[in-house]
Amino acid sequence: MQENLINYTKEAFRSAFESEPERIFLAPGRINIIGEHVDYSDGFVLPASIDKYICFAVKKNDDSKNCTFFAKDFNESFSFNINHKQTPVEQMWANYLLGVFNAVQELGKEIGGLQIAFSSTIPIGSGLSSSAALECGFAYILNELFDLNLTKKELALIGQKSEHTFAGVKCGIMDQFASVFGKEHQVIMLDCNSMDHQYFEANLEGYSLVLFDSCVKHTHLTSGYNDRRNDVDHGKKILWENFPDIEKFRDFTFKMLDNVRTEIGETSYKRCLYLLKEIKRVEKAAIALSEGDAEYLGKLLTETHSGLSTEFEVSCEELDFMVEETLKEDGVLGARIMGGGFGGCSINLIKDENVDEVINNITAKCKADFDIEMKVYRVKISDGIREYKQDECGI
Protein backbone atom coordinates (compact mmCIF):
# COMPACT_ATOMS: atom_id res chain seq x y z
CA MET A 1 0.00 0.00 0.00
CA GLN A 2 2.71 2.50 0.99
CA GLU A 3 4.92 1.55 -1.95
CA ASN A 4 1.94 1.90 -4.31
CA LEU A 5 1.25 5.40 -2.97
CA ILE A 6 4.88 6.44 -3.40
CA ASN A 7 5.04 5.15 -6.99
CA TYR A 8 1.68 6.76 -7.79
CA THR A 9 2.85 10.12 -6.43
CA LYS A 10 6.18 9.94 -8.26
CA GLU A 11 4.29 9.33 -11.50
CA ALA A 12 2.02 12.29 -10.74
CA PHE A 13 5.12 14.46 -10.32
CA ARG A 14 6.57 13.28 -13.62
CA SER A 15 3.29 13.98 -15.38
CA ALA A 16 2.89 17.47 -13.86
CA PHE A 17 6.48 18.70 -14.08
CA GLU A 18 8.11 16.50 -16.77
CA SER A 19 11.05 15.70 -14.51
CA GLU A 20 12.01 13.41 -11.62
CA PRO A 21 11.33 14.34 -7.99
CA GLU A 22 14.39 14.71 -5.79
CA ARG A 23 12.91 13.70 -2.44
CA ILE A 24 9.87 11.90 -1.06
CA PHE A 25 8.11 12.67 2.24
CA LEU A 26 5.30 10.88 4.09
CA ALA A 27 2.89 12.63 6.48
CA PRO A 28 0.49 10.37 8.41
CA GLY A 29 -3.08 10.74 9.55
CA ARG A 30 -3.95 10.02 13.15
CA ILE A 31 -6.39 8.30 15.44
CA ASN A 32 -7.26 9.23 18.99
CA ILE A 33 -7.41 6.09 21.10
CA ILE A 34 -9.31 7.86 23.87
CA GLY A 35 -9.84 11.37 25.25
CA GLU A 36 -12.62 13.15 23.39
CA HIS A 37 -13.57 16.78 24.13
CA VAL A 38 -11.09 17.00 27.01
CA ASP A 39 -8.46 18.97 25.10
CA TYR A 40 -10.10 22.28 26.03
CA SER A 41 -10.61 21.21 29.66
CA ASP A 42 -7.06 20.67 30.93
CA GLY A 43 -7.27 17.00 30.03
CA PHE A 44 -5.05 14.53 28.23
CA VAL A 45 -5.56 12.93 24.84
CA LEU A 46 -4.05 9.68 23.56
CA PRO A 47 -3.43 10.02 19.81
CA ALA A 48 -1.17 8.02 17.50
CA SER A 49 0.00 8.36 13.92
CA ILE A 50 -1.36 5.70 11.57
CA ASP A 51 -0.29 4.01 8.35
CA LYS A 52 -2.44 6.21 6.13
CA TYR A 53 -0.38 8.94 4.49
CA ILE A 54 -0.10 11.95 2.29
CA CYS A 55 2.91 11.36 0.06
CA PHE A 56 4.81 14.40 -1.24
CA ALA A 57 7.16 14.17 -4.23
CA VAL A 58 9.38 17.27 -4.10
CA LYS A 59 11.98 19.11 -6.16
CA LYS A 60 13.72 22.39 -5.39
CA ASN A 61 13.65 24.94 -8.15
CA ASP A 62 16.03 27.69 -7.10
CA ASP A 63 15.62 29.54 -10.39
CA SER A 64 11.91 30.07 -9.77
CA LYS A 65 10.06 32.51 -7.54
CA ASN A 66 7.08 30.14 -7.37
CA CYS A 67 5.90 27.24 -5.28
CA THR A 68 3.83 25.02 -7.54
CA PHE A 69 1.64 22.18 -6.28
CA PHE A 70 -0.15 19.40 -8.12
CA ALA A 71 -2.89 17.73 -6.04
CA LYS A 72 -3.22 14.40 -7.86
CA ASP A 73 -6.39 13.32 -6.03
CA PHE A 74 -8.20 16.49 -7.13
CA ASN A 75 -6.36 16.72 -10.45
CA GLU A 76 -5.76 20.39 -9.65
CA SER A 77 -2.69 22.62 -9.65
CA PHE A 78 -1.91 25.75 -7.69
CA SER A 79 1.04 28.13 -7.75
CA PHE A 80 2.04 31.18 -5.72
CA ASN A 81 4.92 33.66 -5.74
CA ILE A 82 7.18 33.20 -2.72
CA ASN A 83 7.95 36.93 -2.58
CA HIS A 84 4.31 37.94 -2.16
CA LYS A 85 2.14 38.16 0.94
CA GLN A 86 -0.41 35.34 0.75
CA THR A 87 -4.17 35.47 1.39
CA PRO A 88 -6.80 32.68 1.39
CA VAL A 89 -8.08 31.45 -1.98
CA GLU A 90 -11.11 29.50 -3.21
CA GLN A 91 -9.26 26.18 -3.49
CA MET A 92 -9.58 24.94 0.10
CA TRP A 93 -6.75 22.41 -0.11
CA ALA A 94 -4.41 25.21 -1.23
CA ASN A 95 -5.28 27.29 1.84
CA TYR A 96 -3.71 24.74 4.18
CA LEU A 97 -0.44 25.12 2.27
CA LEU A 98 -0.66 28.90 1.93
CA GLY A 99 -1.30 29.21 5.65
CA VAL A 100 1.87 27.26 6.39
CA PHE A 101 3.92 29.42 4.02
CA ASN A 102 2.43 32.56 5.57
CA ALA A 103 3.33 31.42 9.10
CA VAL A 104 6.90 30.62 8.01
CA GLN A 105 7.13 33.99 6.25
CA GLU A 106 5.99 35.77 9.43
CA LEU A 107 8.87 34.12 11.29
CA GLY A 108 11.25 35.86 8.91
CA LYS A 109 12.35 32.64 7.24
CA GLU A 110 13.20 32.52 3.56
CA ILE A 111 12.47 29.71 1.13
CA GLY A 112 13.13 29.14 -2.55
CA GLY A 113 11.08 27.81 -5.43
CA LEU A 114 9.53 24.34 -5.18
CA GLN A 115 7.63 21.83 -7.25
CA ILE A 116 5.46 19.41 -5.25
CA ALA A 117 3.03 16.69 -6.27
CA PHE A 118 1.05 14.95 -3.55
CA SER A 119 -1.49 12.18 -3.14
CA SER A 120 -3.12 10.54 -0.14
CA THR A 121 -4.46 7.33 1.35
CA ILE A 122 -6.00 9.27 4.29
CA PRO A 123 -9.76 9.30 3.64
CA ILE A 124 -10.93 12.92 3.48
CA GLY A 125 -13.70 13.82 5.93
CA SER A 126 -13.29 10.65 7.96
CA GLY A 127 -11.85 12.31 11.07
CA LEU A 128 -8.32 11.01 10.45
CA SER A 129 -6.84 14.50 10.08
CA SER A 130 -5.83 14.69 6.45
CA SER A 131 -5.65 18.49 6.84
CA ALA A 132 -3.07 18.27 9.65
CA ALA A 133 -1.00 15.85 7.55
CA LEU A 134 -1.09 18.30 4.63
CA GLU A 135 -0.15 21.33 6.73
CA CYS A 136 2.55 19.70 8.81
CA GLY A 137 3.92 17.71 5.90
CA PHE A 138 4.53 20.93 3.97
CA ALA A 139 6.01 22.65 7.05
CA TYR A 140 8.33 19.68 7.55
CA ILE A 141 9.43 19.81 3.89
CA LEU A 142 10.24 23.53 4.11
CA ASN A 143 12.17 22.94 7.31
CA GLU A 144 14.24 20.16 5.75
CA LEU A 145 14.90 21.70 2.34
CA PHE A 146 15.69 25.23 3.46
CA ASP A 147 17.36 24.57 6.84
CA LEU A 148 14.85 26.63 8.81
CA ASN A 149 15.94 25.08 12.14
CA LEU A 150 12.37 24.81 13.42
CA THR A 151 11.62 22.37 16.23
CA LYS A 152 8.96 19.67 15.97
CA LYS A 153 6.78 21.66 18.35
CA GLU A 154 7.11 24.74 16.15
CA LEU A 155 6.12 22.69 13.09
CA ALA A 156 2.97 21.48 14.85
CA LEU A 157 2.08 25.04 15.89
CA ILE A 158 2.62 26.29 12.33
CA GLY A 159 0.18 23.64 11.10
CA GLN A 160 -2.38 24.68 13.71
CA LYS A 161 -1.92 28.36 12.89
CA SER A 162 -2.49 27.62 9.20
CA GLU A 163 -5.79 25.92 9.99
CA HIS A 164 -6.88 28.84 12.20
CA THR A 165 -5.92 31.64 9.84
CA PHE A 166 -6.33 30.30 6.30
CA ALA A 167 -8.88 27.48 6.69
CA GLY A 168 -10.96 29.19 9.40
CA VAL A 169 -11.06 26.13 11.68
CA LYS A 170 -10.29 26.81 15.36
CA CYS A 171 -8.82 23.37 15.98
CA GLY A 172 -6.81 22.22 18.98
CA ILE A 173 -3.22 21.05 18.69
CA MET A 174 -3.76 17.28 18.90
CA ASP A 175 -3.99 16.49 15.18
CA GLN A 176 -0.87 18.39 14.20
CA PHE A 177 1.06 17.16 17.21
CA ALA A 178 0.27 13.51 16.45
CA SER A 179 1.27 13.87 12.80
CA VAL A 180 4.65 15.39 13.73
CA PHE A 181 5.51 13.49 16.92
CA GLY A 182 4.10 10.03 16.14
CA LYS A 183 6.22 6.93 16.76
CA GLU A 184 5.67 3.41 15.49
CA HIS A 185 4.00 1.12 18.06
CA GLN A 186 3.61 4.02 20.53
CA VAL A 187 0.82 6.34 21.60
CA ILE A 188 1.28 9.89 22.88
CA MET A 189 -0.31 11.04 26.11
CA LEU A 190 -0.54 14.76 25.42
CA ASP A 191 -1.53 17.73 27.55
CA CYS A 192 -2.97 19.97 24.84
CA ASN A 193 -2.46 23.14 26.90
CA SER A 194 1.20 22.80 27.87
CA MET A 195 2.12 20.35 25.07
CA ASP A 196 3.85 18.23 27.70
CA HIS A 197 3.75 14.66 26.49
CA GLN A 198 5.01 11.17 27.09
CA TYR A 199 5.04 8.01 25.02
CA PHE A 200 3.50 4.69 25.97
CA GLU A 201 4.10 1.40 24.18
CA ALA A 202 1.05 0.18 22.26
CA ASN A 203 1.20 -3.52 23.08
CA LEU A 204 -1.68 -4.84 21.00
CA GLU A 205 -0.27 -8.09 19.66
CA GLY A 206 -3.16 -10.33 18.63
CA TYR A 207 -5.59 -7.41 18.41
CA SER A 208 -6.45 -4.87 15.72
CA LEU A 209 -7.74 -1.32 15.73
CA VAL A 210 -10.39 -1.05 13.03
CA LEU A 211 -12.33 2.07 12.10
CA PHE A 212 -15.91 1.88 10.85
CA ASP A 213 -16.87 5.01 8.93
CA SER A 214 -20.61 5.60 9.12
CA CYS A 215 -20.34 8.18 6.31
CA VAL A 216 -22.91 10.13 8.36
CA LYS A 217 -22.33 13.89 8.60
CA HIS A 218 -24.95 15.62 10.72
CA THR A 219 -25.34 19.35 10.12
CA HIS A 220 -25.40 20.25 13.82
CA LEU A 221 -21.76 19.30 14.41
CA THR A 222 -20.58 22.91 14.74
CA SER A 223 -23.59 24.23 16.64
CA GLY A 224 -23.68 21.15 18.87
CA TYR A 225 -19.98 21.49 19.61
CA ASN A 226 -20.40 25.16 20.56
CA ASP A 227 -23.38 24.31 22.78
CA ARG A 228 -21.29 21.73 24.63
CA ARG A 229 -18.49 24.26 25.10
CA ASN A 230 -21.00 26.71 26.61
CA ASP A 231 -22.42 24.03 28.92
CA VAL A 232 -18.93 23.15 30.12
CA ASP A 233 -17.89 26.79 30.56
CA HIS A 234 -20.97 27.42 32.70
CA GLY A 235 -20.07 24.48 34.94
CA LYS A 236 -16.43 25.53 35.19
CA LYS A 237 -17.35 29.09 36.19
CA ILE A 238 -19.42 27.92 39.13
CA LEU A 239 -16.89 25.26 40.15
CA TRP A 240 -14.14 27.87 40.34
CA GLU A 241 -16.39 30.28 42.24
CA ASN A 242 -16.87 27.58 44.87
CA PHE A 243 -13.34 26.14 44.80
CA PRO A 244 -11.01 29.02 43.81
CA ASP A 245 -7.84 27.23 44.94
CA ILE A 246 -8.11 24.60 42.20
CA GLU A 247 -5.77 25.48 39.32
CA LYS A 248 -6.83 23.07 36.58
CA PHE A 249 -10.22 21.66 35.68
CA ARG A 250 -8.83 18.13 35.78
CA ASP A 251 -8.06 18.60 39.50
CA PHE A 252 -11.70 19.02 40.50
CA THR A 253 -13.06 15.93 42.25
CA PHE A 254 -16.37 14.19 41.67
CA LYS A 255 -17.35 15.23 45.20
CA MET A 256 -16.76 18.90 44.35
CA LEU A 257 -18.89 18.53 41.25
CA ASP A 258 -21.66 16.88 43.25
CA ASN A 259 -21.57 19.78 45.73
CA VAL A 260 -22.51 22.28 43.00
CA ARG A 261 -24.88 20.00 41.05
CA THR A 262 -28.02 21.96 41.87
CA GLU A 263 -26.34 25.30 41.24
CA ILE A 264 -24.95 24.45 37.80
CA GLY A 265 -27.99 22.53 36.61
CA GLU A 266 -28.34 18.99 35.31
CA THR A 267 -27.08 19.62 31.78
CA SER A 268 -23.80 21.26 32.79
CA TYR A 269 -23.41 18.67 35.53
CA LYS A 270 -23.57 15.83 33.00
CA ARG A 271 -21.10 17.53 30.68
CA CYS A 272 -18.56 18.14 33.43
CA LEU A 273 -19.07 14.65 34.87
CA TYR A 274 -18.23 13.11 31.51
CA LEU A 275 -15.07 15.23 31.17
CA LEU A 276 -13.74 14.38 34.63
CA LYS A 277 -14.37 10.69 33.99
CA GLU A 278 -12.77 10.83 30.54
CA ILE A 279 -9.63 12.54 31.80
CA LYS A 280 -9.12 9.68 34.25
CA ARG A 281 -9.87 7.09 31.54
CA VAL A 282 -7.06 8.46 29.35
CA GLU A 283 -4.47 7.86 32.05
CA LYS A 284 -5.83 4.37 32.69
CA ALA A 285 -5.86 3.57 28.98
CA ALA A 286 -2.21 4.59 28.54
CA ILE A 287 -1.20 2.18 31.28
CA ALA A 288 -3.45 -0.59 29.93
CA LEU A 289 -1.86 -0.22 26.49
CA SER A 290 1.69 -0.29 27.80
CA GLU A 291 0.91 -3.39 29.90
CA GLY A 292 -0.81 -5.16 27.03
CA ASP A 293 -4.13 -5.28 28.91
CA ALA A 294 -6.38 -5.24 25.86
CA GLU A 295 -9.43 -6.37 27.84
CA TYR A 296 -9.29 -3.35 30.13
CA LEU A 297 -8.52 -1.00 27.27
CA GLY A 298 -11.62 -2.25 25.47
CA LYS A 299 -13.72 -1.69 28.58
CA LEU A 300 -12.49 1.91 28.77
CA LEU A 301 -13.32 2.55 25.11
CA THR A 302 -16.86 1.32 25.65
CA GLU A 303 -17.24 3.46 28.78
CA THR A 304 -16.19 6.48 26.73
CA HIS A 305 -18.85 5.77 24.13
CA SER A 306 -21.50 5.52 26.82
CA GLY A 307 -20.35 8.87 28.23
CA LEU A 308 -20.30 10.54 24.83
CA SER A 309 -23.78 9.22 24.10
CA THR A 310 -25.61 9.76 27.40
CA GLU A 311 -23.62 12.41 29.32
CA PHE A 312 -22.00 14.58 26.65
CA GLU A 313 -24.73 13.72 24.13
CA VAL A 314 -22.71 14.03 20.92
CA SER A 315 -23.50 10.66 19.41
CA CYS A 316 -26.32 9.93 16.98
CA GLU A 317 -28.71 7.10 16.22
CA GLU A 318 -26.52 5.60 13.51
CA LEU A 319 -23.33 5.57 15.60
CA ASP A 320 -25.09 4.25 18.69
CA PHE A 321 -26.50 1.42 16.58
CA MET A 322 -23.11 0.70 15.02
CA VAL A 323 -21.32 0.55 18.39
CA GLU A 324 -24.09 -1.44 20.08
CA GLU A 325 -24.14 -4.07 17.33
CA THR A 326 -20.34 -4.24 17.16
CA LEU A 327 -20.14 -4.96 20.89
CA LYS A 328 -22.40 -8.00 20.40
CA GLU A 329 -19.88 -9.61 18.05
CA ASP A 330 -17.41 -12.30 19.11
CA GLY A 331 -13.89 -11.03 19.63
CA VAL A 332 -14.81 -7.37 20.14
CA LEU A 333 -13.23 -5.95 23.29
CA GLY A 334 -14.47 -2.38 22.97
CA ALA A 335 -15.96 0.20 20.62
CA ARG A 336 -16.72 3.90 20.68
CA ILE A 337 -17.47 6.91 18.54
CA MET A 338 -14.25 8.73 17.61
CA GLY A 339 -13.98 12.47 17.14
CA GLY A 340 -16.26 15.43 17.77
CA GLY A 341 -19.48 13.49 17.33
CA PHE A 342 -22.76 13.64 15.41
CA GLY A 343 -21.45 11.17 12.84
CA GLY A 344 -18.09 10.01 11.55
CA CYS A 345 -16.17 6.92 12.61
CA SER A 346 -16.20 4.42 15.41
CA ILE A 347 -12.93 2.93 16.65
CA ASN A 348 -13.07 -0.76 17.52
CA LEU A 349 -10.68 -3.10 19.32
CA ILE A 350 -11.07 -6.59 17.87
CA LYS A 351 -9.20 -9.89 18.16
CA ASP A 352 -7.31 -10.53 14.94
CA GLU A 353 -9.06 -13.81 14.19
CA ASN A 354 -12.49 -12.17 14.40
CA VAL A 355 -11.86 -9.01 12.36
CA ASP A 356 -13.17 -10.22 8.99
CA GLU A 357 -16.34 -11.70 10.45
CA VAL A 358 -17.10 -8.57 12.49
CA ILE A 359 -16.57 -6.34 9.44
CA ASN A 360 -18.89 -8.47 7.32
CA ASN A 361 -21.62 -8.60 9.95
CA ILE A 362 -21.62 -4.90 10.85
CA THR A 363 -21.44 -3.86 7.20
CA ALA A 364 -24.54 -5.94 6.50
CA LYS A 365 -26.43 -4.62 9.54
CA CYS A 366 -25.70 -0.97 8.72
CA LYS A 367 -26.89 -1.53 5.18
CA ALA A 368 -30.06 -3.31 6.32
CA ASP A 369 -31.08 -0.91 9.09
CA PHE A 370 -29.87 2.49 7.82
CA ASP A 371 -29.00 1.89 4.17
CA ILE A 372 -25.43 2.96 5.04
CA GLU A 373 -22.55 1.83 2.85
CA MET A 374 -20.08 1.61 5.73
CA LYS A 375 -16.39 2.09 4.97
CA VAL A 376 -13.70 0.18 6.86
CA TYR A 377 -10.16 1.29 7.66
CA ARG A 378 -7.72 -1.13 9.24
CA VAL A 379 -4.95 0.92 10.82
CA LYS A 380 -1.59 0.33 12.43
CA ILE A 381 0.30 2.78 14.63
CA SER A 382 3.14 4.31 12.64
CA ASP A 383 5.90 6.91 12.70
CA GLY A 384 5.18 10.61 12.34
CA ILE A 385 6.20 12.75 9.36
CA ARG A 386 9.44 11.57 7.79
CA GLU A 387 11.44 11.51 4.61
CA TYR A 388 11.20 8.26 2.68
CA LYS A 389 14.61 6.95 1.76
CA GLN A 390 14.97 4.95 -1.44
CA ASP A 391 16.94 2.21 0.31
CA GLU A 392 14.33 1.53 3.00
CA CYS A 393 13.61 -2.13 3.50
CA GLY A 394 10.29 -3.82 4.07
CA ILE A 395 8.29 -1.27 2.09
Helices (H) and strands (E) in the chain, counts: 12, 13
Q: Which long-range contacts (CB under 8 A, 24 or more apart) does 160-165 make?
A: 160/135, 161/99, 161/103, 162/95, 162/96, 162/97, 162/98, 162/99, 162/100, 162/102, 162/103, 162/135, 163/96, 163/99, 163/131, 163/132, 163/135, 165/99, 165/102, 165/103
Q: CATH for 2-202+382-388?
A: 3.30.230.10
Assigned superfamily of 207-378: GHMP kinase, C-terminal domain (3.30.70.890)
pLDDT range class, residue 107, cuts 50, 70, 90? very high
Is the model more confident about 171 or about 322?
322
Q: What is the mean pLDDT of the chain?
A: 93
271-300 pLDDT, tens per residue?
A: 999 999 999 999 999 999 999 999 999 999
8-29 pLDDT, tens per residue?
A: 999 999 999 999 999 999 999 9
Amino acid letter, 196: D
Structure confidence at residue 218 (pLDDT): 67
Structure confidence at residue 221 (pLDDT): 58
pLDDT range class, residue 344, cuts 50, 70, 90? confident
Spell out the domain ranges in the chain.
2-202+382-388, 207-378
Structure confidence at residue 219 (pLDDT): 59
CA distance 153 to 270: 34
Global pTM reads: 0.91
362-372 pLDDT, tens per residue?
A: 999 999 999 99
Residue 126 has pLDDT above 80, yes or no: no
Catalytic residues: 175
- pLDDT above 70 covers what percent of the chain? 97
